[in-house]
Amino acid sequence: MQTPKLPIEVCERIIDSLAISIHNPTFFDYVDALESNPTLYACALVCRDWTYRSQYHLFRQVKLRTTHQAYAFLDAVTRHPHRAKLVQFLFISPLPPPKSISSPPRPSESQAPASSLVPTLPLDPPASSTSPVKTSSSPHLPELSSLSNEQQSNMGQTAPQSESESENPAQPPTVTPMSSQSDVQKQNKPEKISIPPCYYNWIYKLLIRLPPLLKNLSTLTLASLPTLHPRFIRLVSCFKTVKALGLLDSSVQSFSEIIQLINRLPQLTFLNVQYPQWDRPARFFPSYRHRLEQLICVDASDGIVTDTLNWLGSRQHLSGLRYLRISFLASSHMTNSKLRQILHQCTHSLRFLHLSPDDTDIFESLSLSSHSQLEYLRIWISTSPFSNHAKLFSACISQLLSPSLVCLRIGYFENVDPETFAALQSTSWKDVDDALGDPKFNRLTYFVMDLKYDYQVTLDRKTLRTTFRNVFPKSYQRGILWVTKQMGDSGRRGEQLYRVER
């Protein structure tokens, strides 16, 4: 007896359930969904009816980390243009060079030279540093007869050869970029040897060849890149359809280059800059027509936050800004003034605000009660003791909260120990609970407390619920109390959110 064929609609729903959907691309959650999915790959090989639907999800979110993945993807979208139209999210994050190419681990941003992403000639280094180079393998330099890997200092002395190179003479040499005498002196130190720039050539080839192919690309994320060369910025600006841009763990020469990149992307509405680094502060800001609706600046130094606030404060119109997240704010008179100015300009548009200041004093000068559209407020304190949070929020809760608020989330970065956990039962937190019981906050649906657990601390879940019911009785009665726990430093992946049930 032949098994009846399932309707194609049922098969499509099954395939869709295997692919992790992006419910909120603001947080770039799709990055975690880009790992290999063997089940989805198997679905693409079942039959022709399943192939296109599976390819849709496989090519919709693409993550490239190695040279092999980059060239395989480039070959696929070049030979099959219909697959290139499926790509909407592109994540490029190169892995550190393997030990087999005789290069040290990836240096930090302060050690990576500005020329580490400068495009280089496609040379094929010979097996020996003294053997001739074939003309066919280096068409750009037809008269090149030898290639040496010897680094010389400013005195003309040859750097000593390492033991690993002497034991393996057939190992390809490391090609280092041209630099000044001061850079050569820094590179002679073992801890500051740079990564061969040819290792990142595949990124340049992607940025040159992909823009005319990926006509539906909406989100581009670049992560774990060294100092970006100005030409790199110009290549990224060729993706005219990009609406969301992420620069994660990367560095530029100045903040002005990021602004120029924003100006060259006409449809950009979301900018996500995490762990940024730039050498020079921005002395002037290029002319810019504000289009951003969402801005994230996470784990930045004081100078970078200052540049970001000065840039936002220099704009005359911020009426379209709906999402703002700035971490590690240094409390100062200028910072507080700029932040008040920015929040005042987006009074009628801001819906999501996430602040992570270094000091709680910054909230004493803020007022969000007039923000009629503010629905989500998240505050993380990085340095102040947890016991002082309650005093701050009980004093500022009336001016910080908007009547339209739906979710209030409070957290801190310190691990929870028994003494810190016992501080929850202070009377100050009850004052916060009384303030949240005001009838004007009747739209408040979620009151979330973020707790960071240490692996060595074991807290009974039943005891945890009992404590929260005693500390926040009114929130408990309204059914809006939620608790988030994070296991150690696992971050968002270890986060578990559960409701304190009545």
**pLDDT tens for each residue of 36-52:** 467 777 888 888 878 88
| pLDDT over 70, % of the chain | 55
Which contiguous run of DSSP H or E holds residue 259?
A: helix 255-264
**pLDDT on residue 403:** 84
Helix, strand, coil percent values for the chain (each to nearest 5): 40, 15, 45
- Comparison of pLDDT for 280 and 151, the residue scoring more: 280
What residue ranges in 244-329 does DSSP mark as E strands? 244-248, 251-254, 270-274, 277-280, 294-298, 323-329
Residues of the chain with CATH 3.80.10.10: 255-499
Mean pLDDT, rounded, of the chain: 69
Binning pLDDT at 50, 70 and 90, where does residue 213 land? Answer: very high
pLDDT the model gives residue 441? 85
- Looking at domain 255-499, its CATH architecture is Alpha-Beta Horseshoe (3.80)
**Percentage, residues of the chain above pLDDT 90:** 7
Q: 284-307, pLDDT tens digit by residue?
A: 555 666 678 888 877 656 567 777
Q: From CA 246, how far away is CA 266, in angstroms rounded?
A: 16
- Name which residue leads in pLDDT, 26 or 450: 450
Question: According to the model, what pLDDT value does residue 132 have?
Answer: 43
Residue type, 116: S
Residue 98 has pLDDT above 80, yes or no: no
- pTM listed for this prediction: 0.68
Residue-wise pLDDT tens digits, 21-77: 443 333 334 444 444 467 777 888 888 878 888 888 888 888 888 888 899 999 999
- Tens digit of each residue's pLDDT (9 = 90 or more) over 77-87: 999 998 899 99
pLDDT band at 153 (very low <50, low <70, confident <90, very high): very low
- Six-digit token string for 277: 């680094």
Average pLDDT over residues 129-139: 43
Mean pLDDT of 97-121: 40
Stretch (H or E) spanning 232: helix 230-236
Distance (Å, whole) CA 357 – CA 396: 15
